[in-house]
Amino acid sequence: MIDALLNFDFMRYSFLCGMLIGVLAPLIGTFIVVRRLSLIADALSHVTLGGISFGMLAAKWLAPVAISPIWFGILFSVTGALLIERLRSVYKHYQELSIPIIMSLGIGLSVVFISLADGFNQDLFGYLFGSISAVTLADLLTIVAIFIIVVLFIFLLYKELFMLSFDEEYAQIIGVPKYLHVLFMLMVALVISASMRIVGILLVSSLITLPVASAMRFARGYKELMLWSVIFGEGSVILGLIFAFYLNISPGGVIVLLLIVILLCAILYQKKREQGGMLDEN
């Protein structure tokens, strides 16, 4: 493993990307889960898949135009985020409807574009479930840029995002600008686009929500929730990449299974702690 990291660029790119994503996805996930918008990650991931498949179709029809499918994925994901926010304002009393609508749109576009591009291939499989060998220097630079943008966004607007997550109506009353909703959705779209190379489009929502679900079992405050979520996400990504390398399989599935194990351990820990508390009272 160490020899591979020293001798192969793509291994270094993969691990650097994984370390950044292991921080980024759970970090934005804390705000998503608290706002009870966990399914947004699934909706935008399906829209991103539509962008990736469109990018591959464009590469087939317009071979001289060398545009990475990742950029189409980012474009579609950002557009999907804006559409969700728009539909939430249209269906004011049924805002959750915006998520399945956009998810359906993403699935429909994906099926059509994949069919026109002559079906699945190895590149698309890597986008779906993650790939160690497919990460390039351009991917790494894109992820670094997204990492900087999202972290600065959270750091500079932490108080506003905190209030928005726990009480959206109160946030509006005290003057939190409405455009912050849109900016937050754009950050979610960027994180999903950044994560798809390592975790895979179909599994990226797990890296956003599962570490937070584990951390919620014992975190005693919001900042502690963020810290433990990042620790669980980072640990699962690094271990997942190591296991995927030695087993020669896609890292996405391994990372998700590790997150499930962490979640089960967190649930068992909470139950034992509660049982211990009951015994102390008796």
Per-residue model confidence as pLDDT tens digits over 32-64: 888 887 888 888 888 988 888 888 888 777 655
Distance CA 74, CA 78 (A): 6
Q: In Å, how far from its chain's centre is CA 104?
A: 19
The amino acid at 125: F
Give the domain ranges of the chain: 2-281
Distance CA 193, CA 146 (A): 9
Torsion angles phi and psi, residue 187, rounded to 5? -65, -40
Question: May I ask the CATH architecture of the domain 2-281?
Answer: Orthogonal Bundle (1.10)
Grouping H, G, I as helix, E, B as strand and the rest as coil, residue 36 is: coil
> b/e per residue, 41-57, with b = 16+ CB within 10 A?
bbbbbbbbbbbbbbbbb
Higher pLDDT, 17 or 59: 17
- Is residue 196 within 8 Å of 45, Cβ to Cβ? yes
For the CA atoms of 176, 181, 186, 188, what is the dihedral angle to 10 degrees? Answer: 100
| Cα-trace Rg, the chain | 19
Number of Cβ within 10 Å of residue 90's Cβ equals 11
* pLDDT at 262 (0 to 100): 93
Number of Cβ within 10 Å of residue 138's Cβ equals 12
The amino acid at 198: I
The DSSP letter of residue 200 is -
Per-residue pLDDT band for 30 (boundaries 50, 70, 90) equals: very high
Higher pLDDT, 65 or 81: 81
Model confidence, pTM: 0.85
DSSP labels, 77-89: HHHHHHHHHHHHH
131: left (phi over 0), alpha (psi -120 to 50) or beta: beta
Distance CA 37, CA 209 (A): 10
The amino acid at 13: Y
The DSSP letter of residue 97 is G
Most confident of 2-6, 47-51, 167-171, 269-273: 47-51
Distance CA 35, CA 23 (A): 19
